[in-house]
Structure formats: structure tokens, C-alpha cells
With several copies, the nearest count.
Chain A
Amino acid sequence: MPWSRNELAQRAARELQDGFYVNLGIGIPTRVVNYIPKHIDVTLESENGMLGVGPFPYPDQVDADLIDAGKQTITESPKASYFSSVDSFAMIRGGHIDVAILGAMLVSQSGDLANWVIPGKMVRGMGGAMDLVAGVKKVVVLMDHNAKDGSPKFVQTCNLPLTGAGVINLLITTLGVFEFRQQQAELIELAPGVSLQEITDKTEADFVVSTHLISVPY
């Protein structure tokens, strides 16, 4: 059975290590915060200018001067620091953030990411996504393995404008986990009960299968 969206977030949380600085994108990635193991100390960055993002505020704590990159009201953790957009993206582009976890529209077999243009809708802009994928040490992408109409989202070539070319390190879909090395995808893990046959059938991208493939019967 495929992973649920919460299980995607839970699987992504396993990529986090003690002391990591992490940027979480809008959507499913924000749920990762619920699955960070208690014994691990992770600092969340928000690209509008802070390190040490805390949980949502209680209703009487809401502060208009304290929002995250998704423009939602947040709180600060005790170790928080604030800085300008220039300093924030110097940090991102300079490779100081350990992991960025992002959503995707399409992913290509060479690790290209397309997540800023939604077909048929007006282009609203890439925000900080291009900077994040170009700069962060490890880019983890979470997405449904297929679109609602069943069409593959992990494809040979993205036919949507790219956010970054060959930038993805790890792709976690509802059916499995792919690692990218030298812009070559390798299937390393299957969601419980998902067969190699099933994931192959539902994928357009070429990929190799790890000799250490993790496969759990449901």
C-alpha cells in the first residue's frame, strides 16, 4: 500500500540528523516537523529571514511581524535569530543549510525539478525555490507518485519550466524512494507492499534498482 502524505513526511524526517539546519517548503514538507524524533535537535530556517522557527502561536501570541516564508504566523524558538533577505539567501546559496524538503509538480530522471509553474494557471513566480535547490546541501523532494489522472510525475524529461536542473538528491514518492547520483536515479526503497513491478509500471523515468533495495511486505 502506498505511503500516505503523513507517511511521506515521516519518511523524510528520517533524513534529518542531530544539529541539522533545515528548510521546509510549503505543503506536505511542513508536516515533517511533526515527525522529528525528540532526541534530535534540528533548527528550522525560514527564508524570509530567521533561524529557529517555533510552532504556530497560541491565539493571543499572534504577531504580524513574525511570519514564515508561507506568510503564516509562527513563533520563535529560544535560540532564534533574525536577519535580512540578503543574509538569508547568502546562507542558502552558500551551502550552509543542510537539507531542504520541497514539493514537486514533476521530477525528471536526471534530478530536474519543476515546481513553480502550475499548468493552466497564471505564473505567480518562483519565490525562493530556485535559490534553495541551487544552494542547499541536500535537496529532498516529496510528491505523489502519480497525478490525480494517473499520469506519471517522475518522468524522462520535465515538460514544465524547471526550478533547477539536476538538483535533487533524494525523491520520496508515495510508492518509494529514489536516490540521485551523478544525475542517475536509483530506487533504494519501496513503500510497504509496493512491488518493483508496480512502481516500474507507474514510472516513466528510467532508474536503476539498488542491490540493497529495501522492500517490506505489507
Chain B
Amino acid sequence: MYKFRDDEHVALKDLLFDGMTIMAGGFGLCGIQENLINALFVSGVCDLTVIANNCGVDDVGLGILLRRRQIKKMICSYVGENKIFEQQYLNGELEIEFSPQGTLAERCRAGGAGIAAFYTKTGVGTVIADGKEHKVFDGETYILESALKADLSLVKAWKADLEGNLVYRKTARNFNPVMATAGNVTVAEVEEVVSIGELEPDGIHTPGIYIDRIIEGRSNHKPIEFITTRNFPDP
């Protein structure tokens, strides 16, 4: 019970400070924290370093934070289609650090799992390897990549119980479970809060130990970036 908060503003209020680092789960617009991101926008917290796979689009997801110039630096694998982002980047108002998607995920995992750094083959021979330690294992070259941590992690799940055990739905899982582990404080936005005992213990994706606060999202628009369909078969 003590983890549940009434709304997204209450859940974040005392956790925000200018210059902080925030991790946010999500892939494109799938599995993003609509309500918590809105609370970030309303709070006006600025000079943020944001670690997320993408930065939303102009009017949705993390993209809305660009309107008030709240983001100083993005650590991501792909920017996405975002005009304001492009403009601020080309003006030098926004810094980007690209990390290959798997390396980004693994760096967050390392941050949450007490691993300081790891050797990966990804990026060897590319600009990503510039300035990084190289080492040969079994005749193959690897580069050293370091852990990422955040002051605050925002995650979106399908269901939570009051202990903070989380279950995600389909591909909305993506970066959410790993980012839940790498925040100094982690706040989860879910579609439904259920009683303790309702989630199957063998089926829990994120154990409650990683979750400090939970809100039930007031709005769940779940926008879709590209709707692709096939035609109904002929009857």
C-alpha cells in the first residue's frame, strides 16, 4: 500500500531536480509513460539528461519535453521522426550520445546489476569504438562499454500489485524492465493496479523490489506511430 500514489504529479514531485538524469522505458511510442512524462512537462524540471531508446515524436512521449527545452542531453539509439528535436540539435541546444540499441540495453542492465563495464563485439570498427578500450578474446576483438544509471527511472507496465510486482504486455515490455533496475528511484505507471496475490508469482516480470512508487495512469491513449494492416479476406 505504501508504494501507491494518487497521481503522477504527487508521485514525482519531490524526486525532481534540474540537471538530473532520467531513464524512460519504451520503444517508439510503445510502452511509454504517458502520464509521468506529462508530469515531467508540467513540473518544468530542466537540464535533463534523458536515457531512452528514442525521444518520442513532436507531440507525444518524451518529445513534449523538447517544447519547453527541458532536455539537455539524450542518450539513445535512434532519434526517430522529430522536427523539434532536429532543430534543437542543429542549433546546438541539444546534445546526443548514440549507443547501439543492444549496447544501450546492456549498459542499463549493467547499471542495475552491479556490473561496472563489459566487453562487446557490437560497434567494433565503427565510430562507436572510437576512444574505447579494445581487447582480444579468443581471437576476436571486443570493446569496453560502461554501465548507465539514473537518478530516476520511469517505467510503464500493464499491471502492478501493491507490492510493485509488474507484468508487461506484448512488445510494450521492451526497455521497461531493465530501466526499472537502474534508477536510484523507480516510478511505475500501470494500466491497472491489482491486489497482492492476483499476479502469478512465476509470471512476474519485474519484482516489486525495483519499484518505489506506482500510479494507475489516468489516460491511456497508447498512440501508434505506423498503423499497418492487411485486408480482410474475401468472405
Specify whether A and B are partners.
yes
Q: How large is the interface on B (under 10, 10 to 19, 20 to 34, 35 or more residues)?
A: 35 or more
B98: chain A residues within 8 A (beta carbon): 123, 125-126
Q: In the complex the two chains form, is B31's CB within 8 Å of A90's CB?
A: no
Tell me the smallest distance from the CB of B125 to a CB of chain A, in Å.
3
Residues of A within 8 A of B124 (CB): 134, 164-165
Set of chain A residues within 8 Å of B79, measured between Cβ atoms: 122, 124-125
Knowing A43-B209, A89-B106, the reply to whether A83 touches B101 (Cβ < 8 A) is: no
CB-defined contacts of A179 to chain B, threshold 8 Å: none
Contact B228 A73 (CB under 8 A): yes
Report the nearest A residue to B90, measured CB to CB: A122
Given contacts A93-B120, A93-B121, A122-B89, contact A81 B101 (CB under 8 A): no
> What are the interface flags for B86-115 relative to A under an 8 Å C-beta threshold, 1 for contact and 0 otherwise?
100110000010101111011011011111
Q: Is the CB of B173 within 8 A of A134?
A: no
Closest Cβ neighbor of A121 among chain B residues:
B86
| Chain B residues whose C-beta falls within 8 Å of the C-beta of A210 in the assembled complex | none
Pairwise interchain contact B174-A65, C-beta atoms closer than 8 A:
no
Q: Which residue of A lies closest to B165 (CB)?
A: A81
Bound-state CA distance A57–B231 (Å) is 9
- A interface, size bucket: 35 or more
Verify B225–A67 contact, CB threshold 8 A: yes
A78 located at the interface, meaning its Cβ lies under 8 Å from any Cβ of chain B in the complex = yes
Expressed in whole angstroms, the minimum distance between the Cβ of B162 and any Cβ of chain A is 8
Asked whether, in the complex, the Cβ of B102 is within 8 Å of the Cβ of A161, the reply is no
CA distance A1 to B175 in the complex (A): 45
In whole angstroms, how far apart are the Cα atoms of A199 and B36 in the complex? 55
A3 to B233, CA, bound (A): 30
Q: Is the CB of A79 within 8 A of B196?
A: yes
Residues 58-116 (chain A) with a chain B CB within 8 angstroms: 58-59, 61-74, 76, 78-86, 88-97, 112
Contacting pair B197 A65 (CB below 8 A) = no
Q: Which residues of A sit under 8 angstroms from B86, Cβ to Cβ?
A: 122
B232 beta carbon closer than 8 Å to chain A: yes
Closest to A47 in B: B101
Question: Contacts of B228 on A, CB cut-off 8 Å?
Answer: 56-57, 72-74
Q: Are B224 and A127 in contact (CB-based, < 8 A)?
A: no
B53: chain A residues within 8 A (beta carbon): 85
Sample of 16 A–B contacts (CB below 8 Å): A18-B2, A64-B30, A71-B29, A79-B163, A79-B196, A79-B197, A82-B171, A89-B101, A89-B103, A112-B125, A126-B77, A126-B128, A130-B126, A134-B120, A135-B102, A164-B124
Other than the given A45-B209, A69-B27, 12 more pairs (CB < 8 A) read A48-B27, A71-B225, A79-B197, A85-B102, A91-B207, A93-B120, A125-B98, A131-B103, A134-B114, A134-B123, A134-B124, A162-B125
